């Protein structure tokens, strides 16, 4: 909940440590999704307006990684002495997911190489300019008007716009049933998308459990804090023992750079 709240796009999403809400598109029109913790072990989701899409429940389950076997994941990662204390401090850690794979691709591309705060500001501005209804813009909206509103180096703008066109036209054919390997192969084939972007999208958009973001600077900083190799090559070799749950190790390494709660 805190992760989603911290990455929420202003005007589209909002939340805190116990609550997350956003407006979504449904076959019956716009609707507001509201998800809360009930104080025990349940996540309560309600939809106000619109018809409930068939895929919504599994997507909400993936958004909060509700199908993860947290006990098995914790036990596996804690068997490495370097992660034992981190796992003990934050047991049951889960992957923050995404409600829409196309949205996740565009959000990741737009938000990479800038701070989370800056990314939220940029994404909020784009949502207002391209949609203006409280919804995150569709790939088609980015394709049609992206060049008017996207800012930054020309090559980066062209890359984002090109991916939006590919998604809107179906040239980039990706959906929730694609494998992480297939997703990565199709994404990195496009200009402006590298291994980090593809890996992050697979982790967030598909719930892929065994992605190591070995070039992530914050992750490498966290690795060093925990006495692990602080280089991409070093952490790749060291992280082999964390498979098949390296995505969860990413979260522990990121959190290692933060002040204790």
pLDDT at 257 over 80: yes
Q: 54-103 pLDDT, tens per residue?
A: 889 999 999 999 999 999 999 999 999 999 999 999 999 999 999 999 99
CA atoms within a 13 Å half-sphere pointing along the CA-CB vector of 74? 13
Q: 127-155 pLDDT, tens per residue?
A: 999 999 999 999 999 999 999 999 999 99
CB atoms within 10 A of CB 219: 25
Task: Please report where in the chains the tokens 């589209």 appear, as a residue.
Answer: 12
β-bridge partners, 196: none
Question: What is the value of pTM for the model shown?
Answer: 0.94
Domains recognised in the chain with CATH numbers: 2-67 (no CATH), 101-205 (1.10.340.30)
β-bridge partners, 43: 37
β-bridge partners, 30: 25
């Amino acid at each position: 909940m805190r992760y989603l709240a911290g990455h929420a796009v202003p005007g589209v999403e909002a939340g805190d440590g116990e609550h997350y809400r956003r407006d979504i598109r449904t076959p019956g029109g716009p609707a507001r999704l509201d998800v809360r913790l009930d104080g025990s072990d349940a996540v309560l989701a309600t939809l106000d307006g619109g018809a409930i899409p068939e895929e919504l429940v599994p997507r909400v389950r993936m958004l909060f990684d509700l199908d993860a076997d947290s006990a098995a994941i914790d036990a596996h990662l804690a068997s490495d002495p370097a992660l034992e204390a981190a796992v003990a401090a934050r047991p049951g850690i889960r992957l923050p997911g995404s409600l829409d794979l196309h949205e996740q691709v565009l959000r990741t591309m737009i938000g990479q190489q800038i701070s989370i705060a800056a990314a939220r500001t940029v994404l909020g501005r784009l949502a207002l300019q391209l949609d203006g209804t409280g919804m995150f813009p569709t790939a088609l909206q980015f394709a049609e008007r992206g060049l008017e509103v996207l800012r930054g180096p020309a090559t980066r703008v062209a890359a984002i716009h090109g991916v939006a066109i590919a998604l809107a036209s179906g040239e980039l054919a990706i959906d929730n049933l694609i494998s992480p390997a297939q997703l990565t192969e199709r994404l990195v084939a496009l200009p402006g998308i590298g291994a980090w972007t593809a890996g992050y999208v697979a982790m967030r958009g598909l719930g892929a459990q065994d992605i190591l973001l070995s070039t992530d600077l914050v992750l490498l900083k966290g690795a060093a804090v925990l006495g692990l190799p602080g280089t991409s090559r070093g952490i790749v070799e060291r992280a082999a023992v964390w498979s098949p749950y390296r995505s969860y190790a990413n979260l522990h390494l990121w959190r290692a750079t933060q002040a204790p709660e």
